Amino acid sequence: MEATEIRKLARLEDKHWWYRERRNLLATAIKGMAPGLAVDVGAAGGGNTRVLVKAGWHAVPVEYGAEGAEVAAERGLPVLRADACFLPVADDSADLVVAFDVLEHIPDDDAAVAGVFRALKPGATFLVAVPADPALWSEHDVAVDHVRRYTRETLLGVLTRGGFEIESCQSWNVLLRPVAAWRRKKSTGSDLDDLNPLVNTALYGVIALERYLPVKSLPGVSLLVRARKPA
């Protein structure tokens, strides 16, 4: 991702509706898990790393790009600069790997999944979030250096080829998908923008409503998967 986009992400992520709810998704996913060693792949501004630390995990933020690693370090995170395909942890050592909006940036996503599989302990969890639906491809994807958008089949395919067992797969950002589709047709660049506080609050209310509605099997803007390395 371009340096300007990384800086923009770091500036917006604490209050932006999309990042706020994504952090809630992570907090919900790890609830009840015994904290251990967690690797946050693609840590950038460190929002997800902070969720892990708050929940008692020993979180290792990993960032590939120089700008992203610099942002994480500026925020006081002990970031490691490394490739997702070669995570800087010992084999079978991690209790959890989180890769939210990472795989879509990597040309060889099979190699990245293999790297995560190597790092995880047997029986440990891999949490993955990716942009969904190739029909939503737009200039936003180009601006943030996406290689692809996933379908359920292509995402589950790369995970199962890598040896993972799938525990759940759900859509996210379902209610706002029509808005996203409309906006992407007009898109000339990244969707990462400052929003009017009232608009930001309204969008957060809509996305948070999804927690309580039976919409996770419907088409959304993102996919969220919980996978496990066989014990």
Could you list the residue range(s) of the whole structural domain that residue 84 is in? 3-228
pLDDT at 120 over 90: yes
pLDDT of residue 65: 82
Question: How many domains does the chain contain in total?
Answer: 1
* Residue 15 pLDDT level (bands cut at 50, 70, 90): confident
Query: Judging by beta carbons within 10 Å of its beta carbon (0-12, 13-18, 19+), is residue 139 exposed, middle or buried?
Result: middle
Q: What is the pTM of this model?
A: 0.92
For residues 203 and 19, is the Cβ–Cβ distance under 8 A?
no
Which of 68-72, 119-123, 136-140, 171-175 bottoms out in mean pLDDT, i.e. has the lowest? 68-72
Residue 226, both tokens: 């919980």
For residues 45 and 105, is the Cβ–Cβ distance under 8 A?
no
CA angle 54, 55, 60 (to 5 degrees): 75
CA angle 41, 45, 48 (to 5 degrees): 55
Name the phi and psi angles at 154, rounded to 5. -70, -35
pLDDT at 100 over 80: yes
pLDDT of residue 5: 65
Which of 24-38, 57-71, 147-161 bottoms out in mean pLDDT, i.e. has the lowest? 57-71
pLDDT of residue 192: 67
Q: What is the pLDDT of residues 154-199, one digit of tens each?
A: 999 999 999 999 999 999 999 999 998 888 877 776 766 778 999 9
- Looking only at the bridges linking them, the beta strands covering 94-100 and 120-131 are parallel
- For the domain that residue 165 is a member of, what is the CATH number? 3.40.50.150
Closest CA to 60 of 30, 33, 40, 83: 40
